[in-house]
Amino acid sequence: MAISSIQFLHSLRPFNASFTTTPTTASSSKNTKTPRVSLGFRSSVNFNLCSLSSGFFVSSSARSRAWALARDRGEKTEDYHPVTDSVDDDQVVSTPQKLQERDFTDTPYVPIYVMLPLGVVSMNCELVDPEGLVDQLRILKSVNVDGVMIDCWWGIVEANAPQVYNWSGYRRLFQIVRDLKLKLQVVMSFHECGGNVGDDVHIPLPRWVTEIGQSNPDIYFTDRDGRRNSDCLSWGIDKERVLKGRTAVEVYFDYMRSFRVEFDEFFEDKIISEIEVGLGPCGELRYPSYTAKHDWKYPGIGEFQCYDKYLMKSLTKAAEARGHLNWARGPDNAGSYNSTPHETGFFCDGGEYDSYYGKFFLNWYSQVLVDHGDRVLALANLAFEGTCIASKLSGIHWWYKTASHAAELTAGFYNPANRDGYAPIAAMLKKHGAALNFTCVELRTLDQHEDFPEALADPEGLVWQVLNAAWDVCIPVASENALPCYDREGYNKILENAKPLNDPDGRHLSAFTYLRLSPVLMESHNFMEFERFVKRMHGEAVSDLQANSNKKQTKLQGIDDQVAA
């Protein structure tokens, strides 16, 4: 699907930075709200990556991934030194510090999907290079990939006039996928594509919508200084008839219903296995609180995005109902996009976020997010009755080790150290039988980097919390990788997170979507590693792992014999 916020975060630093190897150390947190009980969210490899605003910090085991990402974007790679491809499996497996592989034979089957390129369908809704795509899909099918994921862009399909839909390019694509006996995950992409590092296409919102925005910019999310964000529509117009006589949720529903009618045969034949419903920027359920368009840089806390007239009207109504009309305002001491929590009066320890007013505001702000998801997913269930639906959640892991969790608060996740902000979202998804797609599952707790030790990020703590919030209400959890991944160590990390070791309830991911189909993936060595990864995610035996396991057993038996003698 479209570039996620986490992929964007990890794309911010240029690749001409130096690579430094440091020991991996466990991070502790006195502010995390839950005991750090391991559920198996650990990797068998020593790979930590901190993607920051002025350079990359990567352990040596990750260099091949960073080098491949640079190649993906057409950047110079002469200065990058990937891990040597010629290292044989024997050598790798016999080096515990580099790779201790777990045998996933007979573990639960996790379906594998592969994201298609962002520009596979043109702005004229024509399939780009169908012959080349068929060849690549046949190769994916040859290694038993279950299916592919495709964005159905609102800005392409309903580009020129309200309720005038053009699905032609997607129909041809779906026919190809069906002929190859693959499955489809389809994303209802109601956001703009482009403007982020790594985006190779630009797909704006429909032209007729942006024309409305020129005369009524309050249809967009707005920060305290009045800067608009055209990535998606403000949730303040969910029930406002400002889109040529329709509300925003009516527009979304009409689009989804048109898709369901157009592709009825693909639903009936079970070719379409899941619909992921876009609920915000990058298709994620969150406010656009951190964006490069407004000069945000990691690890800035971001800004609240509630200053369009429609959301301010909602806030005023909530303040009146509470009996405190003076609370009908956003915080005036919450800093700016690139502030740190301790620099602000609102997010610092003991700050206003924990005051009566702060709790009121954050309750309202986060409830608007939950209510938006509730409204849209209710209509999605009407449109796609009988088909699995899903929602994507952003993994905002920086400042997680502080009391306020400032970056999560500005994004709409009311998750300070003394409150579980993800349980209400999980409950809302449960209400609609929707799955959670979480983007942060592959990441480990970041090393304390010399440039940004104050970021206090903890993706593993966040993963522990969010996955348990979802599993506690018994909804499926899927994931995708945040960075292009081609090496064995990266795949092992994903595997460990997909199938937690020794989980007493046998919980595991319901599906994994690989980001993304590219010429680099199709290079022979990379594709061999990918095929091996697919087999292990499917719970199949891998010959080289079995061979090395037999060698290890033989060696251990030899040692036992010597001891016995």
374 labelled as ligand-binding?
Answer: no
Q: Quick check: helix, strand or coil at residue 453?
A: helix
381 labelled as ligand-binding?
Answer: no
Q: Quick check: helix, strand or coil at residue 127?
A: strand
Q: Which pLDDT band, with edges at 50, 70 and 90, does 545 fall under?
A: confident
196 labelled as ligand-binding?
Answer: no
Mean pLDDT to the nearest integer, 37-51: 31
238 labelled as ligand-binding?
Answer: no
Go through the domains of the chain in sequence order and give each one's CATH number: 112-220+230-295+369-538 (3.20.20.80)
- List beta partners, residue 480: 513
Peptide bond into 23 cis (omega under 30): no
Q: pLDDT tens-digit profile of 93-142? A: 443 445 569 999 999 999 999 999 999 999 999 999 999 999 999 999 99
Give 187's contacts (C-beta < 8 A, 6+ positions apart): 1, 2, 149, 150, 151, 152, 275, 276, 277, 278, 283
- List beta partners, residue 479: 438, 512
> What burial class does residue 205 get, using C-beta atoms within 10 Å of its C-beta: 0-12 exposed, 13-18 middle, 19+ buried?
buried
Q: Which of 521, 529, 544, 8 has its CA nearest to residue 231?
A: 8
Mean pLDDT to the nearest integer, 67-77: 37
For residue 23, pLDDT beyond 60: no
C-alpha 389 chain-centroid distance: 16
247 labelled as ligand-binding?
Answer: no
Mean pLDDT to the nearest integer, 483-499: 86
Dist. CA 315–CA 236, nearest whole Å: 10
List strand residue ranges (DSSP E) for 211-366, in order: 220-222, 228-233, 272-277
For residue 71, pLDDT beyond 50: no
516 labelled as ligand-binding?
Answer: yes
Whether this model's pTM surpasses 0.85: no
User: In the structure encoding, which two tokens stand for residue 517, read together?
Assistant: 């189909």
439 labelled as ligand-binding?
Answer: yes
Q: How many CB atoms lie within 10 A of CB 57?
A: 24
List strand residue ranges (DSSP E) for 155-254, in order: 183-189, 220-222, 228-233
Task: Considering only residues 405 and 68, tell me which one the structure prediction assigns the higher pLDDT.
Answer: 405
Instruction: Give the model's pLDDT for residue 22.
Output: 35
> What burial class does residue 281 get, using C-beta atoms within 10 Å of its C-beta: 0-12 exposed, 13-18 middle, 19+ buried?
buried
Q: pLDDT tens-digit profile of 312-351? A: 999 999 999 999 999 999 999 999 999 999 999 999 999 9
- List beta partners, residue 391: 436
Residues classed as catalytic = 284, 480
Instruction: Give the model's pLDDT for residue 198.
Output: 57
Q: What percent of the chain has pLDDT over 90?
A: 67
Question: How many Å from the N-terminal Cα to the C-terminal Cα in the chain?
Answer: 61
Dist. CA 195–CA 349, nearest whole Å: 34
Q: pLDDT tens-digit profile of 138-174? A: 999 999 999 999 999 999 999 999 999 999 999 999 9
Q: Which pLDDT band, with edges at 50, 70 and 90, does 84 fall under?
A: very low
Which residue has tokens 């620099």?
343
Mean pLDDT to the nearest integer, 557-565: 49
Buried/exposed code over 209-248 (b: 16+ C-beta within 10 A; e: otherwise): beebbeebebbbbbbbeebbbbbbbbbbbbebebbeebbb
Q: pLDDT tens-digit profile of 390-419? A: 999 998 999 999 999 999 999 999 999 999
For residue 223, pLDDT beyond 70: yes
199 labelled as ligand-binding?
Answer: yes
Do the beta carbons of residue 161 and residue 208 sit within 8 Å? yes
Q: Which of 258, 190, 199, 253 has its CA nearest to residue 219?
A: 190
For residue 432, pLDDT beyond 90: yes
Do the beta carbons of residue 377 and residue 434 sit within 8 Å? yes
Dist. CA 57–CA 71, nearest whole Å: 18
Instruction: Give the model's pLDDT for residue 444.
Output: 67
Lowest mean pLDDT among 38-42, 185-189, 389-393, 539-543: 38-42
Mean pLDDT to the nearest integer, 277-301: 95
103 labelled as ligand-binding?
Answer: no
Instruction: Give the model's pLDDT for residue 230.
Output: 95
List strand residue ranges (DSSP E) for 191-345, in order: 220-222, 228-233, 272-277
Q: What percent of the chain has pLDDT over 70?
A: 76
Q: Which of 392, 365, 482, 393 has its CA nearest to residue 185?
A: 392
Q: How many CB atoms lie within 10 A of CB 292?
A: 14
Q: How many CB atoms lie within 10 A of CB 7?
A: 24
Q: Which pLDDT band, with edges at 50, 70 and 90, does 490 fall under?
A: confident
For residue 364, pLDDT beyond 90: yes
Return phi, psi of residue 521, to 5°.
Answer: -60, -35
Do the beta carbons of residue 488 and residue 528 sit within 8 Å? no
Q: Which pLDDT band, with edges at 50, 70 and 90, does 249 fall under?
A: very high
Return phi, psi of residue 357, to 5°.
Answer: -65, -45
